Amino acid sequence: MKLEGNRDIEVHVRWLIRRDMPEVLDIESTSFEFPWSQEDFISCLQQRNCIGMVAELDGEVVGYIVYEMGRSDFHVLNLAVRPDVRRRGVGQQMIAKIVSKLRQGQRTEVRLEVRETNLAAQLFFRRLGFQAVSVLKDFYEDTVEDAYSMMYHLESQTASATPHNRLRRFAG
């Protein structure tokens, strides 16, 4: 399938199932210098708190996300979009699906790590409201590269979305 133009596309985000694995592995290998293996995916997804989702367009998997559910957060472990549909809103829709699961008093954060050399991913997550909160030295097993720990916090997003008028409380 070849898509024309640069406009956003709407995808269906659903649970990752075993028969999606060949497409997921293909996207993974074309997206990363050090890709996860099928065993990496299976090992992660067999854990009780690990979730995999795919973005589907016209019956084809065009992206995926793998994340862990913690007590107070969701931790994104892996996310990629097929090269021919990048910058078309697919990644944003997958992140939006996770953010929509955040609730006050329960899970209020989404966190992830991004390679220091992956500027495109850093800018993508920043546009979605994530903030870099720390540098993780020698984070990756495959290189000596550092990572940025980035976080999306529900309360900070709601606070910034509603303007605060400090003078209003003083007006009669």
Strand partners, 25: none
Encode pLDDT of 59-103 as tens digits.
999 999 999 999 999 999 999 999 999 999 999 999 999 999 998
Does residue 42 sit in helix, strand or coil? helix
In the chain, where are the structural domains located?
A: 12-161
142/130 Cα distance (integer angstroms)? 25
DSSP string spanning 131-165?
Answer: EEEEEETT--SSSS--EEEEEEEHHHHHHHHS---
3-state helix, strand, coil in the chain (%, to 5): 30, 30, 40
Encode pLDDT of 10-48 as tens digits.
999 999 999 999 999 999 999 998 999 999 999 999 999
Q: What is the pLDDT of residue 166?
A: 41
Class of domain 12-161: alpha beta
Alpha-carbon Rg of the chain, whole angstroms? 18
130/79 Cα distance (integer angstroms)? 15
